[in-house]
Amino acid sequence: MKHPLPPLDGLKAFEAAARHLSFSLAADELCITKGAISYQIRKLEQHLQCALFKRTTRQVYLTDAGQMLLQTTQSLFNDLGETLQRLQGETQHSGVTIAVTTYVAARWLSQHISAFNQHHPDVTVLLQHSVNSADFKLTDVDLAIRWGPCRTTPQRNRIAEIPMPLYPVISPALLKRHGINNEKPTTPKKLLKGPFAKLPLLCEDRQQDLWQEWINTSQTDTTHPTPALSNPQRVISDSNVRVQAAIDGQGLILADELMINDLNNGLLVSPFKGELHGYGYALLCSASRIMSDDAVALKDWLASQIVEGSLPGGV
């Protein structure tokens, strides 16, 4: 018998948005865009031929139909999760999956997994590196570590945050090649003129311009707006490749504290004063996914390491 049910993605988007009463928080939880949440809910309302939310300019509210559907979906999701967990069983548990970039895995996570396994030798930790891909879903993994803006309000799926100020670094060989003396850090305005203005800026494939944000926040004279940077920009989306490109002298890169060893070894130097704050890494888990005991143990372990500040450079 065929069941006239709407797509599961629509129900998941609805449940998250209804629980938070926020399309933005639902998008953060499911690691998709706010527009995708709106689209899924609009399709669901069309399928049901009724409104599930009352929308205002600042808030959304559940209709009577939305309240009824929320109770049912939460009950069904909980029952389904418990059933799947029982079917998997502890003996069939294939490990704890954590989504993370190779950059963070190599420079921070690996050492903590090693320490974790000393206390939990029977737990297998599986790394999944598609955390920044367009089709990544937080519900597909037990945990994730993702870079982005640091939040000012707590959220159910954000277990802990690692604020990471960003600051420009460069290969000393590239400075020498352009005849730039770097005995002590200089002002960010130097990036707007002279030999610095010709140096390429290495950046991620992101819509926002973090380089312009950095120089804007470093501006001390608020009476005059900071001019736009005219440096050529090279997009290198892979963090490891971008770091190596900076070491090889291809341009400036915005570094975080996970690159401290490269600075300590003299492979890169920091020529400017000023840092860009408001960004970092977040340890995430899905609020709707039932976690195994092993996953909970790893989650608590990593959260404790972040709280204790066990990052390179004492962050």
List the pLDDT tens digit at each of the 315 positions of the chain.
Answer: 456 778 888 999 999 999 989 998 888 888 889 999 999 999 999 999 999 999 887 788 999 999 999 999 988 888 887 777 666 654 445 689 999 999 999 999 999 999 999 999 989 999 998 888 877 888 889 999 999 888 766 677 888 898 999 999 999 999 888 888 777 788 888 888 888 888 999 998 767 789 999 998 887 666 677 788 888 999 998 899 999 999 999 999 999 999 999 999 999 999 998 899 999 999 999 887 888 889 999 999 999 888 755 454 333
What is the Cα 189 distance to its own chain's centre?
30
Q: What is the CATH number of domain 96-163+280-314?
A: 3.40.190.10
Summarize pLDDT for 136-187 with one digit per residue, the tens: 888 889 999 999 888 766 677 888 898 999 999 999 999 888 888 777 788 8
For the stretch 34-48, pLDDT in tens is 999 999 999 999 999
Which pLDDT does position 3 carry in this prediction? Answer: 65
Structure tokens at 253: 């890169």
Q: What SS3 state is found at 314? A: helix
Report residue 55 as tokens: 């929308």
Q: Give yes or no on whether 96-163+280-314 and 167-276 have one common fold.
A: yes
The burial of 80, by beta-carbon neighbours within 10 Å (0-12 exposed, 13-18 middle, 19 or more buried), is given as exposed
What is the model's pLDDT at position 180?
82
Q: What pTM was estimated for this model as a whole?
A: 0.68
Domain map (residue ranges) of the chain: 8-88, 96-163+280-314, 167-276
- Residue among 107, 138, 101, 110 nearest 237 (CA): 101
Instruction: Report the topology of domain 167-276.
Output: D-Maltodextrin-Binding Protein; domain 2 (3.40.190)
- Fold (CATH) for 8-88: Arc Repressor Mutant, subunit A (1.10.10)
> In the prediction, which pLDDT does 245 show?
95
